[in-house]
C-alpha cells in the first residue's frame, strides 16, 4: 500500500465512542483463549489433573463413612459427592488467587503490561478482562469434574430450584474470590512477589473451608477460622442445594448467601483500593512493566 | 499557542542501592519543554539520560515526583485516560516484546483496537491497510513468535497508528528494520506529520534520521535538557568543531597511523575511522585546519603512508551530539 493511501485512510473522521465494557472483556476472553489454546500440552495436563483428582476422591469414598456427611445436612451422595463438590469448587480459589497473579505477572514478563495500561481502557475494565477468562475456564473444569464424577457414581439431589440456588451461590463464590484475586494482584503489583502468600491462602482454605471433610469434625477454633473464608459458605450452601435438595428459601442456604454477599460487598471496594494503591505505587517507582 | 506537549518542572527521582547504601538518582530533573501541535520533535541523549523515563511519564506509565505535563491539553496526573486517547506509543527498545507472541499480528491489532475504542468496522479497515502497508498481509495469521524482529517492529508500529492519535511517541521506530522498511517508515512518519498534522516525538540513535526528520531537537543529559534547538541552529552552534579528513589508500596499520597523527600538536582527537570507495578515511578534530593540513601532509609523508587526499570536513550531526552530550561532564 502507498503511503498516501494509508495517510488518506487514517485521516478518516471517526466519532469518538467508548467501546462497551462487555466488548473489551470479550476481547480479553478471546485473546486468553487463543493464547491458552496454543499450550496444547498444558491443556492436556490440566484436564488429566482434574480427572486424576476426581478418581482419587472416588477411591477415598470407598473407605470413608458417610455418616458424618449426612449429619451435616448433605443427605445425598455420600463422601464422594461431598468431596467432588469440594474439589470442583475449590478450583475457583486456586484460579482466583493464583491465576490472576500469574496473569498480571505474564503481562509484566511479556512486556505487554505498559502497552495495555497506556491504552484508553481503565484499570477496572483491565482487571475484569484479565480475570474473566480464568473463571470461564474454571467453570468448564467444574463441568468436566461433575461429568467424570457422575460417570463414577456420584449422585445428587437435584430439582430446578436447588440447581438455580446453587448457580446463584456459584456466582457469589466467583464474585467473592475475584475480590481476593484482585487484592493479591494489587499486592503483587507493588511487591513483585506473592506466591508464598497466595499458596498459603490456597492451602489454608483447603484445610479449614470444608473441602475434604465437614467443618463440624474440626476443633472449634479451626471451625471459627474456617468462617473467615468465603469458600466455607459457598461449599456449605452449594452442598445443601445439590446434596440436600435445599434452596435459597431455606434459612441455612440463605444465611450462606447473605454471608457471601456481605463478604463481596466489603472485599470488592477494599480489593479495588489495594489494587489502585499497588498500581500507583508501581507507577511511582517506575516498575509497572517489571516483575 | 496550542501545545501538543507541555511540561512544567517535570521531575522524577529513583532510589537505587549501591553497595548496600541508598542513592537517589535524578532521572528527569525539572524539565520544561513545549512542543507545538504538528511539530516533528527529536529527543536525543546517551543511554541513561532520562529520555525513556520522560516519555513514560508523558505516557502516564510513570508518575512524576514533581511538576506535571499536559498532553493535547490534558493533565497527565489528573486526566490520564484523556491523555491515553491522545497518543500512540512505539517503544522500540522492547524489540517486539510488548506484543502477545502467541497471537497473530491481526489478533494483536484487533485486541488493541478494542482497548483504544476503535469501532469494529473502522478497526477492520485500518488493520487491513496497516498490515498491507507494513508488508504483513501474507503473514497476518501467523503467530507473532514466528516473526522476525523486523516484522514484530512493524506490528508495533501498526499498533501505535491504529487509533489514529494526534500525538505519536516514536521511541526508536526504525530499530531492527531493514533499510527498505526503515525508509518506508521514515516516509510514513513524514507524511503523517506533514499531511495529517500529527505531532511526533522521535528518539533515535541514528543521527542521520534525526537530522533528516526533526524540525527541532532537544538533547538530554543526566535528566536535564541541555539543548533545545532546530538542527540548523545546532550546526551553527558547533562551528567550533573543526575537522580534517585524511583519505588513506594503503596502510599496514591504520590505528597506528591515527595515533601518530594525533601526536601532532594542532590535532585534537580521532573522530572517526571509516572505509570508503578509495580506501580508509581518518577524521581528526583539529584546532585550525589551515595549520593542521600541512603538518598532517608532512607527517604522512614521513610515515610513508599512501594518501589520496587531505581535506577540511564538515562536522556531522553525530559529532554535534557527542560534543553536546559530553560537554557537561
Dist CA A246 CA A77 (whole Å): 14
Q: How near does any CA of chain B get to the CA of A250, in Å?
A: 44
| B324 in any annotated domain | no
Residues 16-45 of chain A whose Cβ lies under 8 A from any Cβ of chain B: 16-19, 23-24, 27-28, 30-31, 34-35, 38-39
How do the domains of chain A map onto residue ranges? 18-284
Range of the domain at B254: 240-314
Mean pLDDT value across residues B258-286: 86
What does the longest C-alpha to C-alpha distance in chain A come to?
79
Interface test with B, best of A21, A118, A125 (most B CBs within 10 A): A118
| Confidence label for A255 from pLDDT (cuts 50, 70 and 90) | very high
> Which residue among B199, B217, B236 closes a domain?
B236
Share of chain A above pLDDT 90, in %: 20
Tell me: do B35 and B162 sit in the same domain. Answer: yes
| pLDDT at A199 > cutoff 80 | no
Over residues B193-222, the pLDDT tens digits come to 988 889 999 988 777 788 889 999 998 888
| B327 in any annotated domain | no
Tell me: do B169 and B248 sit in the same domain. Answer: no
pLDDT at B211: 83
Residue A176 CB partners (closer than 8 Å, separation 6+): A230, A234, A260, A263, A264, A267
Contact yes or no for B101 and A110 at CB 8 A = yes
Q: Which residue of B has its CA nearest to A288?
A: B61
**Number of separate helices (H) and strands (E) present in chain B:** 11, 15
Pick B129's closest partner by Cβ from A6, A23, A30: A6
pLDDT at B313: 81
Instruction: Tell me the pairing of strands B199-203 and B216-221.
Output: unpaired
> Which residue among B236, B266, B290 closes a domain?
B236
Tell me: do B216 and B247 sit in the same domain. Answer: no
| Confidence label for B303 from pLDDT (cuts 50, 70 and 90) | confident
What residues of chain A lie within 8 A of the CB of B192, using their CB?
7, 10
pLDDT at A35: 81
pLDDT at A196: 58
pLDDT at A197: 62
DSSP chain A: --HHHHHHHHT------PPPHHHHHHHHHHHHHHHHHH-HHHHHHHHHHHHHHHHHHHHHHHHS-SHHHHHTT--SSHHHHHHHHHHHHHHHHHIIIIIHHHHHHHHHHHT-HHHHHTSSS-HHHHHHHHHHHHHHHHHHHHHHHHHHHHHTT------HHHHHHHHHHHHHHHHHHHHHHHHHHHHHHHHS--HHHHHHHHHHHHHHTTSSS-GGGS-HHHHHHHTTSHHHHHHHHHHHHHTT---TTSHHHHHHHHHHHHHHHHHHHHHHHHHHHHHHHHHHTT-TT--
Q: How near does any CA of chain B get to the CA of A101, in Å?
A: 18
Contact yes or no for A6 and B188 at CB 8 A = yes
Instruction: Tell me the pairing of strands B21-31 and B34-36.
Output: unpaired
Tell me: do B76 and B63 sit in the same domain. Answer: yes
Tell me: do B169 and B272 sit in the same domain. Answer: no
Please give the backbone phi and psi of residue A8, each rounded to the nearest 5 degrees, phi first: -65, -45
- Compute how many other C-beta atoms are within 10 angstroms of the C-beta atom of residue B187: 12
What residues of chain B lie within 8 A of the CB of A31, using their CB?
100, 103, 107, 111
Mean pLDDT of the residues in chain A = 82
What residues of chain B lie within 8 A of the CB of A24, using their CB?
114-115
pLDDT at B45: 84
Dist CA B299 CA B263 (whole Å): 10
Geometric angle at alpha carbon A32, from B58 and A99, rounded to 5°? 90
Could you tell me which residue, B97 or A229, shows the higher pLDDT? A229
| Selection from B185, B140, B184, B135 nearest residue B160 by Cα | B185
pLDDT at B36: 94
| pLDDT at B329 > cutoff 60 | no
pLDDT at B151: 86
| pLDDT at B166 > cutoff 90 | yes
First to last CA, chain B: 36
Tell me: do B160 and B270 sit in the same domain. Answer: no
Over residues B231-250, the pLDDT tens digits come to 888 777 766 678 888 988 87
| B89 in any annotated domain | yes
- Here the cell at position B252 is 599496514
Pair A179, A64: CB distance under 8 Å: no
Q: What is the DSSP letter of B305?
A: -
| B328 in any annotated domain | no
pLDDT at B59: 94
Pick B115's closest partner by Cβ from A10, A35, A116: A116
Going from the C-alpha of B88 to that of each of A44, A146, B91, B169, the distances in angstroms are: 39, 47, 10, 6
| B74 in any annotated domain | yes
pLDDT at A1: 65
Please give the backbone phi and psi of residue B95, each rounded to the nearest 5 degrees, phi first: 60, 35
| pLDDT at A195 > cutoff 60 | no
Over residues A113-172, the pLDDT tens digits come to 888 888 988 888 888 888 888 888 888 888 898 899 889 888 888 889 999 999 999 999
Contact yes or no for B191 and A10 at CB 8 A = no
| B11 in any annotated domain | yes
Mean pLDDT value across residues A183-192: 79
Number of structural domains (chain B) is 2
Gyration radius of chain A's alpha carbons? 22
The CATH number of residue B280's host domain is 3.30.70.920
pLDDT at B240: 66
Pick B59's closest partner by Cβ from A24, A111, A118: A118
pLDDT at A127: 84
Gyration radius of chain B's alpha carbons? 23
| Confidence label for B48 from pLDDT (cuts 50, 70 and 90) | confident
pLDDT at B93: 66
Helix (H) or strand (E) holding B238: none
Mean pLDDT value across residues B96-108: 89
Pick B63's closest partner by Cβ from A5, A116, A284: A284
| Confidence label for A249 from pLDDT (cuts 50, 70 and 90) | very high
Tell me: do B18 and B149 sit in the same domain. Answer: yes
| B319 in any annotated domain | no
Tell me: do B115 and B171 sit in the same domain. Answer: yes
> A118 in contact with B at a CB cutoff of 8 Å?
yes
| Confidence label for A182 from pLDDT (cuts 50, 70 and 90) | confident
Instruction: Tell me the pairing of strands B40-44 and B199-203.
Output: parallel
Contact yes or no for A35 and B102 at CB 8 A = yes
Most confident of A15-19, B7-11, B18-22: B7-11
pLDDT at B173: 85
> Which residue among B188, B208, B236 closes a domain?
B236
Q: Using a cut of 0.80, tell me whether the model's pTM lies above it.
A: no
| pLDDT at A225 > cutoff 60 | yes
Contact yes or no for A11 and B195 at CB 8 A = yes
Tell me: do B292 and B164 sit in the same domain. Answer: no
Least confident of B77-91, B96-110, B305-319: B305-319
Tell me: do B12 and B126 sit in the same domain. Answer: yes
- Here the cell at position B71 is 498532553
Least confident of A67-71, A218-222, B140-144: A67-71
Contact yes or no for A120 and B130 at CB 8 A = no
Pair B72, B152: CB distance under 8 Å: no
| B322 in any annotated domain | no
Q: How near does any CA of chain B get to the CA of A127, in Å?
A: 13
> A189 in contact with B at a CB cutoff of 8 Å?
no
Secondary structure class of B6 (helix, strand, coil): strand
Mean pLDDT value across residues A202-229: 81
Tell me: do B26 and B113 sit in the same domain. Answer: yes
Tell me: do B134 and B257 sit in the same domain. Answer: no
Over residues A13-69, the pLDDT tens digits come to 777 778 888 888 888 888 888 887 777 666 676 776 677 667 666 656 655 566 767
pLDDT at A58: 65
Pair B204, B42: CB distance under 8 Å: yes
> A285 in contact with B at a CB cutoff of 8 Å?
yes
Contact yes or no for A7 and B117 at CB 8 A = no
Amino acid at each position: 500500500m502507498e503511503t498516501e493511501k494509508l495517510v488518506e485512510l487514517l485521516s478518516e473522521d471517526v466519532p469518538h465512542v467508548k467501546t462497551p465494557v462487555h466488548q473489551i472483556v470479550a476481547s480479553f476472553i478471546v485473546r486468553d483463549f487463543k493464547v491458552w489454546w496454543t499450550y496444547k500440552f498444558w491443556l492436556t495436563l490440566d484436564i488429566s489433573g482434574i480427572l486424576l483428582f476426581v478418581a482419587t476422591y472416588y477411591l477415598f469414598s470407598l473407605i470413608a463413612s458417610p455418616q458424618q456427611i449426612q449429619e451435616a445436612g448433605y443427605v445425598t451422595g455420600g463422601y464422594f459427592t461431598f468431596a467432588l463438590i469440594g474439589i470442583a469448587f475449590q478450583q475457583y480459589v486456586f484460579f482466583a488467587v493464583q491465576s490472576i497473579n500469574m496473569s498480571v505477572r505474564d503481562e509484566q514478563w511479556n512486556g505487554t503490561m505498559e502497552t495495555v495500561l497506556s491504552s484508553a481502557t481503565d484499570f477496572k475494565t483491565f482487571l475484569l478482562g484479565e480475570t474473566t477468562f480464568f473463571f470461564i475456564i474454571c467453570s468448564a473444569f467444574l463441568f468436566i469434574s461433575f461429568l467424570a464424577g457422575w460417570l463414577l457414581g456420584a449422585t445428587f439431589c437435584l430439582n430446578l430450584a436447588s440447581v438455580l440456588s446453587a448457580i446463584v451461590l456459584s456466582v457469589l463464590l466467583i464474585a467473592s474470590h475475584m475480590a481476593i484475586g484482585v487484592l493479591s494482584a494489587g499486592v503483587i503489583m507493588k511487591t513483585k512477589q506473592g506466591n508464598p502468600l497466595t499458596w498459603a491462602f490456597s492451602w489454608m482454605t483447603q484445610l479449614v473451608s470444608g473441602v475434604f471433610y465437614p467443618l463440624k469434625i474440626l476443633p472449634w477454633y479451626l471451625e471459627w477460622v474456617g468462617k473467615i473464608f468465603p469458600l466455607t459458605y459457598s461449599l456449605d450452601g452449594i452442598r445443601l442445594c445439590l446434596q440436600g435438595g435445599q434452596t435459597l428459601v431455606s434459612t441455612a442456604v440463605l444465611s450462606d448467601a447473605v454471608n457471601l454477599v456481605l463478604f463481596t460487598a466489603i472485599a470488592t471496594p477494599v480489593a479495588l483500593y489495594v489494587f489502585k494503591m499497588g498500581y500507583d505505587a508501581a507507577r511511582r517507582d517506575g516498575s509497572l512493566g517489571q516483575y | 499557542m496550542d501545545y501538543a506537549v507541555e511540561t512544567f518542572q517535570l521531575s522524577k527521582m529513583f532510589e537505587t542501592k549501591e553497595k548496600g547504601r541508598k542513592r537517589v538518582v535524578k532521572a528527569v530533573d525539572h524539565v520544561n519543554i513545549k512542543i507545538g501541535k504538528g511539530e516533528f520533535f527529536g529527543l536525543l541523549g546517551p543511554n541513561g539520560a532520562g529520555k525513556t523515563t520522560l516519555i513514560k511519564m508523558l505516557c502516564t506509565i510513570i508518575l512524576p515526583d514533581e511538576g506535571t505535563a499536559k498532553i493535547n491539553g490534558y493533565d497527565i496526573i489528573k486526566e490520564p485516560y484523556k491523555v491515553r486517547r491522545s497518543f500512540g506509543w512505539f517503544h522500540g527498545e522492547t524489540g517486539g516484546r510488548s506484543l502477545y507472541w502467541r497471537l497473530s499480528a491481526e489478533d494483536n491489532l484487533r485486541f488493541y483496537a478494542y482497548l483504544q475504542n476503535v469501532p469494529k468496522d473502522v478497526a477492520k479497515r485500518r488493520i487491513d491497510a496497516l498490515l498491507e502497508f507494513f508488508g504483513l498481509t501474507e503473514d497476518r495469521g501467523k503467530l507473532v513468535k514466528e516473526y522476525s524482529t523486523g516484522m514484530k517492529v512493524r506490528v508495533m508500529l501498526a499498533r501505535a497508528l491504529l487509533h489514529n492519535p494526534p500525538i505519536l511517541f516514536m521511541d526508536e521506530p526504525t530499530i531492527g528494520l531493514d533499510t527498505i522498511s526503515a525508509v518506508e517508515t521514515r516516509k510514513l512518519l513524514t507524511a503523517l506529520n506533514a499531511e495529517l498534522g500529527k505531532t511526533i516525538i522521535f528518539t533515535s540513535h541514528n543521527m542521520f534520521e534525526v537530522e533528516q526528520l526533526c524540525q527541532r531537537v532537544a538533547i538530554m543529559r543526566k535528566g536535564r535538557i541541555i539543548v533545545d534547538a532546530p538542527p540548523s541552529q545546532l550546526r551553527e552552534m558547533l562551528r567550533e568543531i573543526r575537522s580534517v579528513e585524511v583519505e588513506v589508500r594503503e596502510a599496514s596499520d591504520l590505528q597506528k597511523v591515527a595515533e601518530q597523527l594525533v601526536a601532532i600538536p594542532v590535532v585534537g582527537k580521532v573522530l572517526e575511522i571509516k572505509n570508503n570507495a578509495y580506501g580508509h578515511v581518518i577524521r581528526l578534530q583539529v584546532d585550525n585546519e589551515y595549520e593542521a593540513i600541512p603538518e598532517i601532509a608532512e607527517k604522512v609523508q614521513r610515515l610513508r603512508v599512501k594518501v589520496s587526499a587531505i581535506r577540511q570536513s564538515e562536522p556531522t550531526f553525530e559529532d554535534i551530539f557527542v560534543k553536546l552530550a559530553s560537554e557537561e561532564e
